[in-house]
Amino acid sequence: MFVRGIRGAITVEHNEEAEILKATIELLGQIVADNHIQPDDIAHVFVTVTQDLDAAFPAKAIRQMPGWELVPLMCALEISVPGGLPKCIRLMVSVNTDKSQREIQHVYLNEAKKLRPDLSETTKS
């Protein structure tokens, strides 16, 4: 068994709590579904947001999901780079798995597909 990182990102249109929380759940749900994992498989989740998203902590949404109450979560600000993708939520899900790096399905949704077009071809939405 290995600890593997699963990356994901999603953008929102507005800096509003409900939209941030909904997008976080959508992204994590897609990561879980695409990689066939359970909360007990998760070592931790690291969440970043761009500086234009300050209406909510995305971890709040994850903590409210059934079975995710004990998963360690951490939120931080993404580095502000000129020309960077705005209104973006990123996840780094560290999972205990027997899958190889090639078998891991990273998920990029909405405008975040621009971040990794090489990986976004196989993602849904």
Whether residue 25 is contained in a domain is answered as yes
Residue 7 designated active-site? yes
Q: Which of 13, 63, 69, 103 is catalytic?
A: 63
Q: Which domain holds residue 29?
A: 2-120
In whole angstroms, how far apart are CA 64 and each of 21, 25, 84, 99, 103? 10, 10, 30, 28, 28
> Would you say residue 74 lies in a domain?
yes
In the predicted model, is pLDDT for residue 119 greater than 90? no
Indicate the residue type of 64. Q
- How many structural domains are present in the chain? 1
Check 75, 88, 102, 111 and give the catalytic one. 75
Q: Judge whether 58 and 47 are in contact, CB under 8 Å.
A: yes
Instruction: Indicate the annotated binding residues for prephenate.
Output: 7, 90, 108
Cβ neighbour number for residue 59 with a 10 Å cutoff: 19
Q: Is 78 a catalytic residue?
A: yes
- pLDDT tens per residue across span 87-114: 999 999 999 999 999 999 999 999 999 8
The one catalytic residue in 4, 26, 88, 108 is 108
Catalytic residue among 4, 26, 78, 88: 78
pLDDT of the residue at 39: 95
Count CB neighbours of 101 within 10 A: 8
- Cα 92 to Cα 7: distance, rounded to the nearest angstrom: 5
48 lies in some domain = yes
125 located within any domain: no
Active site residue 116: yes
Q: Would you say residue 11 has pLDDT above 90?
A: yes
| 124 band by pLDDT with thresholds 50, 70 and 90 | very low
Q: How far apart are CA 39 and CA 87, in angstroms?
A: 26
Of residues 120, 121, 48, the one with CA closest to residue 91: 48
CATH number of the domain that residue 87 is part of: 3.30.1330.40
Whether residue 37 lies inside any domain: the answer is yes
Q: According to the model, what pLDDT value does residue 118 have?
A: 82
Instruction: Identify any residues that bridge with 91 across adjacent strands, giving them in sequence order.
Output: 8, 47
Q: Is 121 a catalytic residue?
A: no
108 labelled catalytic: yes
Beta bridge partners of 11: 88
| pLDDT band at residue 1 using 50, 70 and 90 as cut-offs | confident
pLDDT in tens, 25-80: 999 999 999 999 999 999 999 999 999 999 999 999 999 999 999 999 999 999 99
pLDDT score of 121: 59
User: C-alpha distances in angstroms, 55 versus 14, 27, 33, 36, 49?
Assistant: 9, 18, 27, 31, 11
